[in-house]
């Protein structure tokens, strides 16, 4: 049984005051009210009064009495001393008599309404934590949730070791509950069938588990059919009869990750109580995963077909243009004969055929006819045979449903499925089939003049229409995660009712829509009033042509003399040396555990770790890495396969982010509550499933986007890999809600690409301020609630009125969606992309957009009102841009082109790059602190303002290329050449 998950230093920190108390917290929690001052008089001496006040405020601020009261930050003690008119130094005299402190603590419990935690309280908390662990069993998250719950219940938080033990027990109970709930369905027959997943199949040469785990490499017909074959295998199991729905999706995913990473041997070594539930969870997830993969591949293949059809059309049009130019000469000569009065009418035809033969003339007319009729759709037909290789199998394997039945497209799908299953040749013409779904530009090809339907074109039209219907949600698919019915994304209503109180404990939002909207209306009207009063006097703002024009502020200087001084003091080193040194500080390598649960480690474990991390981050393949490290290719590949994955890389990165948060210098750059996200695009040199073309960045090639989330302390706490054609806005919440670091993100910014009205709404509903930098912000639509309010300056603006009834009517579903995101019931990007894709928007989308417009308008008004706020947002986005430059410097090998084929490998590479970037930031911060200390010791005065303008994004002193050796003492043959390599 593990004894704890916190380090000794972490425990000490969590039992005492934080090193830095923000000014806003200082005023909120350490300002003594008149009632407080009456209680402080309970102490007699200044030392007792000050100590008593510090205990009072610490309980109100932290929810517990600190272990070392003398560890309070100097500004806190000084602030209280100023209010009590006593010397802060007298605090050293407090606590010499333990009985005094105990008496003061008991007195304060009664005054503030707190109480000590009892054994029944501990058992209740353990039960509550076990339920939370089923949703998310990250220890740090559970520790934070337990602390918040105790504070709201006015129970003094016990010592961190006791709370840590409760978290460990809760996680163990959650694991046990997981296996017990799934094992209900196990019998001897199912156990024997599950065992076959771990036995090699004679035909394939490997186990069904390995076969099912392999992702498709491309959207070719062959890989689509292979995916459908896997899906057919999984569909043979009675998955719907298993009791998996009693567990939160996050808990199922925990078991799935074990199955996807562990080897056959590791799974066989697990106890039956664990092994079978793991395999059952994997099969259930595989059905969903393979369904989505098949649909994704179908979507990508159709998109690729459309792109090729466009290129074919352009090629055809170019050729046609050349042909027409050539043939225009013939038409000119023909016209010359017709217009020549000297040529008798009876001889015109003969003269024309002397210049142009009948066959040439027929060709000219045919060319003109083709010019009028051919379009992009006609070139779909060229690839019909290829698409038919997999489309019937797709219709056979999947069960489609209409969001609003009846639906003509769904009827057409059923008809084609029946035609494909019938024996005999396919019919050329169809009659009596639904055609309402056929777009106008397809109708002339699909429907003949006699009313019959061309089956070939009908087939193509159904494929094309199905692709768009799946994207919009008009058609949904059974057992899919990304293409399912919209309501299934939300937390079930019964569970939502159980979790309502917990949600409102975690999120500062009102359960009653009228109360919430009244609060926002007050903020909106006050912001309008302030802007109306400020406009005449603010030189940065003016109204022109019924829009607000915002004058950009002058940019601040990037570098300073202090920055140059510090850079001159920074030691020069290899990137590998930097990584090793950071590991000696943090021991982040301890997070890299064998995927199969093996406790054994290979010789020179850390050398392999550093080599693999650097190879992935630098974009070097392992064959190339062998040339610069004294390790074998097989060792590197083995280590990568067993130790490098999101479950190890993310905790290691979290360790670095937390370490950066603890550095004094990092708090000059930010408090860790403000962050930004942005995408960085990389070209891909191989065929891979999720890479897509984007000519603006990749020319004729393809690429991927690495999204990163950056705190205002320059740490990067999250990363994702997405196709570059996907809007970044949909992913903005993903890593904020999946954040397991000590950073408590309360505000987030992006550039314009990361913003939509719907994103504004969801951020507000989960309790986070969204503050994007909007391009052409003066053109952004503003909204109001009360049209009767008049303003002197801004009444000339075109301000629309919000429909609050839409929000009131859908408030419950909006809250249920927010809870689904907060409790990680669904990944935000999945539901956001679905909500945004509806052709005719879902009423929930409309309500969210209306709410988002209200929140957005309040933000924009505040943005106009404060230049410091605008600078703060721009400064945070600039931090991300600086980190992009550093990431490009690190990820520069092989021209920066990604060469891995599978999406999982791309995510690993992004996580490795993120880890290396954080290591550089941590190392630079630590050495910059040492440099500042050195300069101060040598008499240089350095202000806080100068420190706040420093940046740890610097890499001139880091050698990422390695060292060259000019030792040419290699053994030579009789010809004076190196020996050739032979097998």
Of residues 233, 284, 214, the one with CA closest to residue 256: 284
> Rounded CA gap, 472 and 407, in Å?
14
Average pLDDT, the chain: 88
Q: Which percentage of the chain shows pLDDT scores above 90? A: 48
CB burial of 411-430 (b: ≥16 within 10 Å; e: otherwise) equals bbbebbeebeeeeeeeeeeb
Cβ neighbours, 10 Å, residue 184: 10
Residue 109 confidence (pLDDT) above 80: yes
Residue 399 near residue 378 (C-beta atoms within 8 A): no
> What are residue 717's phi and psi, to 5 degrees?
-95, 5
Of residues 662, 676, 831, 672, the one with CA closest to residue 762: 831
CA angle 834, 838, 840 (to 5 degrees): 160
Element (H, E) at 680: strand 674-684
Angle between helices 46-62 and 98-112 (to 10 degrees): 50
The strand pair at 716-722 and 769-770 is best described as unpaired
**What is the average pLDDT across 483-506?**
86
> Rounded CA gap, 689 and 489, in Å?
25
Q: Which segment of 587-596, 652-661, 679-688, 911-920 scores lowest on mean pLDDT? A: 587-596
**What is the average pLDDT across 904-913?**
93
pLDDT given for residue 282 in this prediction: 92
> Rounded CA gap, 894 and 477, in Å?
41
Of residues 68, 55, 50, 62, the one with CA closest to residue 21: 62
Query: How sure is the predictor about 807, in pLDDT bands with cuts at 50, 70 and 90?
Result: very high
* Residues facing 720 on adjacent strands: 707
Residue 569 confidence (pLDDT) above 70: yes
**Upper half-sphere CA count for residue 53 (Cβ side, 13 Å):** 33
DSSP 787: T
Of residues 409, 394, 414, 411, the one with CA closest to residue 296: 394
**What is the average pLDDT across 927-948?**
94
* Residues facing 476 on adjacent strands: 401
**What is the average pLDDT across 717-738?**
92
Q: Which segment of 439-443, 862-866, 898-902 scores lowest on mean pLDDT? A: 898-902
Task: Report residue 902 as tokens.
Answer: 């599978």
Of residues 705, 709, 767, the one with CA closest to residue 735: 709
The strand pair at 747-749 and 716-722 is best described as unpaired
> Rounded CA gap, 784 and 796, in Å?
14
Task: Report residue 965 as tokens.
Answer: 């050796």
pLDDT given for residue 1 in this prediction: 41
Task: Report residue 321 as tokens.
Answer: 């243009």
Residue 957 confidence (pLDDT) above 80: yes
Cβ neighbours, 10 Å, residue 903: 19
Q: Which residues are CB-neighbours of 258 under 8 A, at least 6 positions away?
A: 278
Residue 53 near residue 150 (C-beta atoms within 8 A): no
Q: How far is CA 643 from CA 33, 212, 577, 601, 638, in A?
A: 55, 21, 21, 10, 8
DSSP 572: P
Residue 80 confidence (pLDDT) above 70: yes
> Rounded CA gap, 675 and 717, in Å?
9
Q: Which residues are CB-neighbours of 760 under 8 A, at least 6 positions away?
A: 770, 852, 853, 855, 856, 859
| Residue 374 CB-density burial (10 A; 0-12 exposed, 13-18 middle, 19+ buried) | middle
* Radius of gyration of the chain from its Cα atoms, rounded to whole angstroms: 34
The strand pair at 674-684 and 702-711 is best described as antiparallel
> Rounded CA gap, 920 and 575, in Å?
8
**What is the average pLDDT across 675-693?**
86
pLDDT given for residue 838 in this prediction: 61
Range among 249-263, 264-278, 807-821 rated most confident:
807-821
Residue 493 near residue 751 (C-beta atoms within 8 A): no
pLDDT given for residue 319 in this prediction: 75
Instruction: For residue 800, say if its preceding peptide bond is cis, omega within 30 degrees of 0.
Output: no
> Rounded CA gap, 608 and 605, in Å?
5
> Rounded CA gap, 554 and 15, in Å?
45
Instruction: For residue 91, say if its preceding peptide bond is cis, omega within 30 degrees of 0.
Output: no
Query: How sure is the predictor about 665, in pLDDT bands with cuts at 50, 70 and 90?
Result: very high
Give the tens place of pLDDT for each residue, 507-555: 989 999 999 999 999 999 999 999 999 998 888 898 888 889 888 887 6
Q: How far is CA 380 from CA 76, 294, 457, 693, in A?
A: 72, 21, 9, 19
Residue 602 confidence (pLDDT) above 80: no
Q: Which residues in 573-673 belong to E strands, given as ranges?
A: 573-574
> Rounded CA gap, 377 and 369, in Å?
16
**Where would I find the H helices in 718-796?**
734-737, 757-765
Query: How sure is the predictor about 919, in pLDDT bands with cuts at 50, 70 and 90?
Result: very high
Q: Which residues are CB-neighbours of 953 under 8 A, at least 6 positions away?
A: 714, 879, 882, 883, 885, 886, 921, 924
- 692 φψ region: left (φ > 0), alpha (ψ -120 to 50), beta (else): beta
Q: How far is CA 428 from CA 420, 532, 799, in A?
A: 13, 70, 57
Q: Which residues are CB-neighbours of 880 under 8 A, at least 6 positions away?
A: 676, 677, 678, 708, 710
Query: How sure is the predictor about 603, in pLDDT bands with cuts at 50, 70 and 90?
Result: low
pLDDT given for residue 910 in this prediction: 95
> Rounded CA gap, 576 and 517, in Å?
54
**Where would I find the H helices in 473-574?**
493-506, 513-534, 561-569
Sign of torsion, CA 563 569 573 578? negative
Give the tens place of pLDDT for each residue, 819-872: 999 988 888 998 888 788 765 567 888 899 999 999 999 999 999 999 999 999
Sign of torsion, CA 81 86 88 91? negative
Query: How sure is the predictor about 629, in pLDDT bands with cuts at 50, 70 and 90?
Result: confident
Residue 459 confidence (pLDDT) above 90: yes
Give the tens place of pLDDT for each residue, 320-366: 777 777 777 777 878 888 888 888 888 888 888 887 788 877 777 77
Residue 477 near residue 289 (C-beta atoms within 8 A): no
Give the tens place of pLDDT for each residue, 160-174: 899 989 998 998 888
Residue with more model confidence, 638 or 122: 122
Go through the chain and tell me how many residues it has.
983
- Secondary structure, 3-state, 692-723: EECHHHHCCCEEEEEEEEEECCCCEEEEEEEC
Q: Which residues in 114-204 belong to E strands, given as ranges?
A: none
Q: Which segment of 186-190, 476-480, 484-488, 727-731 scores lowest on mean pLDDT? A: 484-488
**What is the average pLDDT across 763-769?**
96
Residue with more model confidence, 448 or 484: 448
CA torsion, ordered 56, 59, 65, 70, to nearest 10 deg: -50
């Amino acid at each position: 049984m593990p004894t704890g998950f916190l380090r000794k230093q972490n425990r000490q920190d969590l039992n005492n005051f934080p090193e830095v108390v923000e000014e806003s917290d200082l005023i909120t929690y350490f300002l003594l009210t008149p009632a407080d001052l009456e209680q402080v008089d309970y102490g007699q001496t200044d030392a007792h009064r000050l100590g008593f006040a510090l205990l009072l405020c610490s309980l109100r601020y932290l929810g517990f009495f600190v272990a070392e009261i003398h560890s309070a930050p100097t500004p806190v003690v000084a602030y209280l001393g100023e209010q009590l008119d006593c010397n802060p130094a007298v605090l050293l005299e407090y606590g010499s008599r333990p009985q005094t402190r105990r008496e003061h603590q008991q007195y304060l419990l009664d005054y503030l309404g707190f109480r000590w935690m009892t054994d029944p309280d501990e058992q209740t908390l353990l039960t509550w934590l076990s339920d939370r662990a089923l949703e998310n069993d990250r220890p740090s998250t559970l520790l934070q949730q337990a602390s918040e719950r105790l504070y709201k219940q006015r129970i003094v938080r016990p010592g961190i070791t006791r709370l840590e033990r409760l978290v460990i027990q809760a996680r163990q109970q959650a694991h046990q509950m997981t296996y017990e709930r799934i094992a209900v369905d196990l019998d001897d027959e199912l156990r024997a069938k599950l065992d076959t997943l771990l036995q090699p199949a004679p035909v394939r040469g490997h186990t069904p588990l390995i076969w099912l785990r392999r992702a498709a490499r491309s959207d070719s017909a062959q890989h689509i059919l292979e995916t459908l074959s896997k899906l057919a295998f999984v569909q043979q199991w009675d998955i719907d009869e298993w009791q998996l729905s009693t567990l939160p999706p996050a808990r199922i995913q925990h078991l799935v990750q074990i199955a996807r990473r562990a080897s056959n041997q590791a799974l066989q070594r697990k106890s039956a109580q664990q092994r079978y539930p793991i395999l059952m969870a994997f099969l259930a997830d595989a059905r969903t995963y393979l369904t989505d993969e098949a649909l994704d591949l179908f979507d990508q293949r159709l998109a690729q077909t459309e792109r090729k059809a466009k290129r074919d059309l352009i090629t055809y049009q170019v050729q046609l243009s050349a042909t027409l130019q050539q043939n225009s000469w013939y038409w000119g000569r023909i016209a010359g004969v017709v217009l020549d009065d000297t040529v008798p009418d009876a001889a015109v035809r003969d003269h024309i055929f002397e210049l142009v033969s009948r066959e040439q003339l027929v060709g000219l007319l045919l060319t003109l006819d083709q010019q009028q009729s051919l379009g992009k759709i006609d070139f779909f037909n060229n690839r019909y045979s290829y698409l038919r290789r997999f489309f019937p199998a797709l219709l056979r394997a999947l069960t489609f449903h209409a969001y609003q039945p009846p639906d003509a497209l769904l009827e057409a799908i059923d008809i084609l499925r029946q035609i494909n299953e019938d024996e005999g040749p396919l019919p050329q013409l169809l009659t009596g089939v639904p055609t309402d779904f056929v777009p106008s530009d397809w109708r002339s090809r699909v429907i003949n003049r006699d009313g019959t339907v061309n089956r070939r074109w009908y087939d193509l039209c159904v494929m094309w229409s199905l692709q768009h219907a799946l994207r919009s949600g008009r058609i949904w698919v059974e057992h899919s995660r990304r293409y399912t019915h919209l309501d299934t994304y939300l937390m079930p209503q019964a569970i939502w009712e159980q979790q309502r109180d917990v949600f409102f404990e975690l999120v500062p939002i009102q359960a009653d829509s009228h109360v919430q909207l009244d609060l926002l209306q007050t903020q909106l009207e006050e912001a309008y009033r302030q802007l109306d009063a400020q406009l005449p006097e603010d030189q940065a703002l003016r109204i022109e042509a019924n829009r607000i024009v915002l004058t950009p502020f002058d940019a601040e200087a990037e570098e300073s003399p202090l920055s140059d001084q510090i850079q001159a003091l920074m030691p020069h080193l290899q990137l590998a040396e930097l990584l090793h040194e950071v590991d000696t500080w943090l021991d982040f390598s301890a997070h890299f555990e064998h995927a199969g649960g093996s406790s054994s480690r290979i010789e020179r474990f850390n050398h392999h770790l550093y080599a693999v991390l650097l190879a992935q981050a630098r974009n070097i393949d392992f064959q190339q890495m062998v040339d610069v490290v004294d390790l074998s290719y097989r060792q590197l590949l083995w280590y990568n396969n067993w130790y490098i994955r999101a479950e190890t890389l993310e905790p290691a990165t979290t360790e670095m982010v937390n370490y950066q948060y603890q550095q004094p210098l990092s708090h000059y750059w930010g408090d860790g509550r403000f962050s930004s996200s942005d995408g960085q695009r990389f070209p891909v040199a191989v065929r891979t499933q999720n890479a897509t073309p984007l000519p603006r960045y990749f020319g004729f090639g393809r690429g991927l986007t690495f999204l990163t989330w950056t705190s205002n302390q320059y740490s990067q706490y999250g990363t994702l890999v997405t196709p570059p054609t996907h809007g970044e806005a949909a992913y903005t919440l993903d890593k904020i809600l999946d954040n397991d670091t000590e950073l408590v993100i309360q505000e987030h910014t992006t550039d314009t690409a990361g913003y939509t009205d719907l994103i504004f709404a969801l951020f507000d509903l989960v309790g986070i301020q969204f503050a994007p930098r909007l391009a052409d912000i003066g053109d952004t639509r503003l909204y109001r609630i009360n049209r009767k309010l008049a303003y002197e300056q801004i009444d000339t603006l075109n301000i629309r009125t919000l429909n609050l009834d839409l929000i009131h009517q859908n408030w419950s579903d909006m809250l249920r969606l927010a809870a689904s995101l907060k409790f990680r019931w669904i990944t935000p990007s999945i539901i956001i992309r679905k909500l945004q894709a509806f052709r005719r928007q879902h009423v929930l989308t409309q309500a969210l957009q209306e709410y988002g417009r209200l929140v957005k308008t309040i933000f924009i008004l505040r943005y106009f009102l404060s230049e410091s706020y605008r600078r703060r947002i721009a400064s945070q986005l600039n931090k991300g841009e600086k980190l992009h430059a550093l990431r490009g410097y690190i990820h520069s090998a092989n021209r920066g082109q990604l060469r891995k084929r599978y999406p999982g490998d791309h995510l690993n590479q992004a996580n490795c790059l993120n880890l290396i970037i954080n290591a550089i930031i941590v190392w630079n911060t630590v050495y910059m602190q040492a440099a500042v200390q050195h300069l101060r010791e040598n008499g240089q005065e350095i202000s806080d303002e100068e420190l706040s303008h420093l940046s740890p994004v610097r890499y001139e002193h880091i050698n990422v290329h390695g060292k060259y050796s000019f030792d040419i003492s290699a053994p030579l043959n009789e010809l004076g050449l190196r020996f050739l390599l032979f097998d």
